[in-house]
A = this chain, B = another copy of it.
Amino acid sequence: SYKTNDAFANRGMTLEKEIVESNNYYLESGKAVIHKKPTPVQVVQVDYPKRSAAVIKEAYYQKPSTTDFNGIYKGKHLDFEAKETKNKQSLPLTNIHPHQVKHMKRIEQHGGISFLIIRFTIKDETYLLPLEPLLVVWEQQELGGRKSLSYPFIKEHGYLIPFQLQAKVDYLSIIDDVYINGGD
């Protein structure tokens, strides 16, 4: 047992933290309203000490049923998942849960924009991969295909996210190019 800010949430924290910081910049500059969804926790036992805050004494992390982030940008609903890998050559699909893919499909069916942000830590490259190419690989996997998103595939079908001083993961610049200003 040890003290921590939030050990579970810390897995893959660098990318997530940089996205949260980018979102803060977007929020403060009036560009977009995008928030990280809190990690769901199932609370089993709570203490209510007199005159002070309730203390959760037993609780468990729950599997998130959706994705990491959502919000609004230029009238569009955005919903996405951030994934970081130390692999050089691919992101294994085991990193993505079937219910997350289902959720992302629903978002786009209702007119939203859904995508992955994938960081190859060792290469220090971060990509925005739209839902569509993810789905191609996802569905081929179910038919016995490759069980990962390869780096060359991500490079070909995704978009390298530029680093900016104020938005270290400046994914909205890609959203502009690909989804808002009519892409390709």
Contact = CB atoms under 8 A, between A and B. Distances in A.
Interface of A: 1-9, 27, 30, 32-33, 35, 37-48, 53-61, 65-66, 70-77, 79, 103, 106-107, 109-112
Copies in the complex: 2
16 contacts: A1-B47, A1-B48, A1-B57, A2-B46, A4-B45, A7-B43, A8-B54, A33-B103, A33-B107, A37-B37, A38-B41, A41-B43, A54-B61, A72-B112, A75-B111, A77-B77
A60 B56 contact: yes
B35 A65 contact: yes
Contacts of A54: 7-8, 60-61
Nearest to A35: B66
Contacts of A40: 38
A109 B71 CA distance: 13
B7 A42 contact: no
B60 A57 contact: no
A7 B111 CA distance: 36
A2 to B, nearest CB: 7
B5 A43 contact: yes
A45 B58 CA distance: 10
A46 B107 contact: no
Contacts of A60: 53-56
A33 B1 contact: no
A110 B32 contact: yes
B3 A44 contact: yes
A60 B5 CA distance: 12
A107 B72 contact: yes
